[in-house]
Structure 1
Amino acid sequence: MNKVILTGGSSGIGKEINLFLLRKGYEVLFTYCHSQESAEEIMTQFKNAKAFQVDFTSESQLSTFLREIEVFDPDILINNYYNGTFIDTYFHKTDANKFLTDFQNNIIPTLQITQESIKVFRKKKEGRIINILSSSLASPAMGTSVYNSNKAYLLQMSKSWAVENVKFGITCNSISPSFIPTDFHKNMDERMKETILSAYPLKENLESKDISNVIDLCINGGKHFNGNHVFLDASHY
């Protein structure tokens, strides 16, 4: 198993996961939308990297990528893509259309990509699905109701994927890392970042290598390592 599809692999956590896999010798087809310069740098550095530019809010571009999945013939799918904000506003101030729009832009593409990947995996009688979620599922910050509801939906779906596909040699596991400052949090108040870090048991931010180690476990942990939701939070919660 050495061919990986990674959504959102040119920035933030996704980029770090991408680099880890590429250095390990995996062939990675990763998606990006706006980070073209970063994507090109990765492909220049690694011959086993293949970037695919796609805006998942576009039905035509999504359809093109879904066809690419069958051509690429992956062994592993890592669902990391998320297009939105971590902190928005209080639930009672959130427009109902915001919930619908973010669900359509994030969850629907992830479901379709996973469906196409499972079709490939079932033919091979082997496959790995890994979902990157968030430790905020256990202790939500104020203003994260939209983000957390989407991540919670994927967590529940992943449980079904694990049960339905394990007899075909396919496992599904989810990883919820604690807070890691990335471009995704660039609009977040610095005082809130400091508050989160001060309350964290280790008093230091999670590093990309910590996530990569669990990614490796999800890939190589065997068929019995299935249906797990791993929190990387130093037992914070």
Structure 2
Amino acid sequence: MTLFELTNSLKRTITESSYGQSEKHKLLQSEYVSHRELVQFYQACNPTPTLLSLIRQTKLHLPKYKTYKQTKTKEFLKMMEKLRLEAQEAEYRKLINPDPEHTTLYDTSNQEYVSPVQAHKELKNQLTTIVNVFISVGSVSYAVWYWTASSWGLRDSYRVLLTVFFGLLVLVAEVVVYMGYLNKIEEARAKESKKKEVKKVIKTYDLTLDNLTAEKL
């Protein structure tokens, strides 16, 4: 419900109006007046030219917002403590086994770091492989084209079909062999990444101030 503050200007308007004494007393006894009561007062007395002019003599009442604080349950506190310990454990593991790269927005702990030299080397190997495949396909195609003309004396249409067939056959074989080679490399990398590094403490030293002073004495 909308409430308006009963200002001095509005009190004076109500007092000087032709409203009944009981109704005036009812409006003036409270600190606030509702929108409905204000409209009823305006319709009964018409103290101002417009209802808007009457509303301007008031102030809108804004009640204070009360924040609700819910008590933390035991389950919530236990969960927060568990999450805090897990975060500390993860931070400790990162401190012992730091990532090769700086930590970013995305988690790169499961990704293998590739240096620019390694990336350049892999790109060079891929380009070399592609060139070798084209050379193999071209050499076989030319050999079949030349052999079908010199040895068999076939027509050009048959020679084209045989040349395309053997060229595609060599291309598929080269691609299959290369993909198998890449799969073996990926399997070897996966096995290598799954190996866990075992660290042992050989000897420890107590460097506290009390022990150092005792040794000197």
Higher RCO (Cα < 8 Å, 6 or more apart):
1
What TM-score results when the alignment is normalised by the length of structure 2? 0.21
In our comparison, the structure showing a higher alpha carbon Rg is 2
Bigger share in helix: 2
